[in-house]
Amino acid sequence: MSQEATPRLPHRGRCLCGAVQYELNGEIRFASHCHCGMCRKAHGAAFGSYGGVSAGKFRITQGQEVLHEFESSPGVTRSFCSRCGSPITWTSDEHPEHVAFTLGTLEAPPAELPGMRHIHVASKAPWYDICDSVPRFEGNG
């Protein structure tokens, strides 16, 4: 193969302390930087970065017992490691077919992610300017 190395499946991820580990047995199908107020709080950052996979392709391989959940709005659940606080997943009852996982917890992220976009930029932090060429959406795109 002459192409640059593409991480092979499964993709693996882990939280900061390593207690929670997961794997993706399917390709990342979409990705976003979410600037909504809840993602900013949950990540303690200018925005939250997520990748999305088919729900059946996401599996917690270690640390289910320390993975805690928080329902941040009706039908929307965020999971995080209760030891180190790393956010791990975002799921919505409206879209049970997908799991969004936090891109920052991937061990060997691909350089290019399909469909990357900035979403909810209408709520972005006033102290942060988006300076890349990634498409932007006022709402959830």
Residues that bind Zn ion (CB under 5 A): 15, 17, 19, 34, 36, 39, 81, 83-84
9 vs 128, beta carbon nearer Zn ion: 128
137 contacts 117 by C-beta, under 8 angstroms: yes
Minimum distance, C-beta of residue 120 to Zn ion, in the bound complex (Å):
6
The two structure tokens encoding residue 55: 């729900």
The two structure tokens encoding residue 61: 């391989």
50 vs 58, beta carbon nearer Zn ion: 50
Minimum distance, C-beta of residue 1 to Zn ion, in the bound complex (Å):
35
Minimum distance, C-beta of residue 58 to Zn ion, in the bound complex (Å):
17
28 vs 34, beta carbon nearer Zn ion: 34
97 contacts 114 by C-beta, under 8 angstroms: no
Closest alpha carbon to 67 in 102, 32, 108: 102
The two structure tokens encoding residue 78: 């965020």
21 vs 58, beta carbon nearer Zn ion: 21
